[in-house]
């Protein structure tokens, strides 16, 4: 067994705690053949429905696809959508031990209406205010319980209120105290709240918005300066920035590596960031060096872009690709 195979084999022993915003992606699928006589809108003749895990749930599916054990820790509503979410998790073989149901929350459900394979409308059912004191306390308590058995923690922040300025540092501190590495997939609202994290993974748009950079990050020098500024603010150990068709760049306190993108036939970029953060976390938990971590994460993100829709990574395909590109 070569080094890459040994690394991938080690993933099956890892338990990954994913804390943040979990949601349902719902689809109403149909055909459009006429315009409504009541208003200038298409009439959708419904042919099917679908529900999938979104947000942090998609990260969990990627972790599971890699053979590791994902544990979702979040607060959702005590509503029909919350029950649907639990049912979808059970159907996908995911643990519900980290789920907290609250009467004060709505379970985020993004319903897309598709007609003739085109999205016509999206309906969002959600609350995006921060958790209140009671729900935050319950989340922190459940997080601490699940943390005892985990090897790495992923913070999945979609600005839906589960993670906020008052609980982020509390959760990070619990990880630091136990020596458990942490990975963040950030969004704008809490971008600079994640101090002392192990690995921070923004994309170019997020790093520009988070640092309020007006200029273009179109060259390596400007990206490097932005990352240096970011790490000075966050005091984190490692930053992995996804650069779309330009690949990824990873910076530690000592080294910077730019990993170019591989030539792909891009079908859909949806969910690629979830796959990247999953592989980064698993490699981090296995104490992989930064360059290899970035290379494998970059390969994984590229592979899922070749498939239509949000789908988890194929472990065997990624392993074969990693061996081909990186060797033994």
Active-site amino acid positions: 274
Q: How far is CA 167 from CA 71, 85, 164, 190, 240, in A?
A: 19, 24, 6, 11, 24
Measured at the CA of 157, the angle between CA 156 and CA 158, to 5 degrees, comes to 120
Alpha carbon of residue 2 to chain centroid = 29
Q: How many CB atoms lie within 10 A of CB 173?
A: 11
Return the beta strands (E) in the chain as ranges.
15-20, 22-35, 42-55, 69-77, 99-102, 109-115, 118-125, 152-156, 182-185, 199-200, 238-242, 248-252, 256-259
Distances (CA, A) of 190 to 204, 272, 300: 16, 21, 26
Which of 63, 83, 81, 82 is CA-nearest to residue 18?
A: 63
Structure-token pair, residue 215: 């200029």
Q: CA 99 to CA 93: how far, in whole Å?
A: 14
Q: Compute the distance between CA of residue 79 and CA of residue 85 in angstroms, rounded to an integer.
A: 10
Q: Tell me, letter by letter, the H, E, C secondary structure of 249-313.
A: EEEECCCEEEECCCCCCCCCCCCHHHHHHHHHHHHHHCCCCHHHHHHHHHHHHHHHCCCCCCCCC
Cα distance between residue 314 and residue 320, in whole Å: 10
């Amino acid at each position: 067994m070569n080094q890459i195979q040994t690394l991938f084999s080690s993933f099956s022993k890892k338990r990954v705690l994913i804390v943040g915003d979990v949601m349902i992606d719902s689809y109403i699928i149909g055909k459009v053949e006429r315009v409504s006589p009541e208003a200038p809108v298409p009439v959708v003749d419904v042919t099917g429905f679908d529900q999938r895990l979104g947000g942090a749930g998609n990260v969990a599916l990627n972790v599971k696809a890699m053979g590791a054990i994902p544990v979702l820790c979040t607060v959702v509503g005590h509503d029909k959508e919350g029950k649907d979410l639990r049912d979808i998790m059970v159907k996908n073989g995911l643990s519900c031990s980290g789920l907290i149901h609250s009467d004060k929350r709505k379970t985020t459900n993004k319903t897309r209406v598709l007609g003739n394979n085109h999205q016509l409308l999206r309906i969002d059912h959600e609350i995006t205010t921060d958790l209140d004191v009671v729900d935050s306390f319950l989340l922190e308590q459940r997080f601490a319980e699940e943390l005892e058995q985990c090897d790495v923690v992923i913070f999945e922040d979609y600005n839906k209120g589960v993670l906020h300025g008052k609980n982020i540092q509390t959760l990070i501190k619990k990880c630091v105290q136990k020596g458990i590495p942490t990975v963040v997939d950030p969004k704008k609202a809490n971008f600079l709240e994640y101090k002392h994290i192990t690995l921070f993974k923004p994309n170019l748009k997020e790093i520009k918005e988070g640092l309020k950079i007006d200029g273009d990050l179109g060259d390596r020098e400007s990206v490097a300066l932005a990352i240096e500024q970011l790490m000075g603010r966050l005091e984190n150990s490692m930053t992995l920035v996804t650069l779309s068709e330009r690949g990824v760049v990873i910076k530690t306190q000592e080294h910077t590596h730019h990993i170019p993108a591989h030539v792909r036939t891009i079908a859909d970029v949806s969910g690629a960031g979830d796959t990247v953060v999953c592989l980064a976390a698993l490699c981090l938990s296995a104490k992989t060096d930064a360059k290899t971590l970035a290379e494998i994460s970059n390969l994984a993100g590229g592979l899922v872009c070749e498939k239509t829709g949000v789908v988890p990574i194929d472990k065997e395909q990624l392993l074969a690709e990693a061996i081909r590109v990186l060797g033994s």
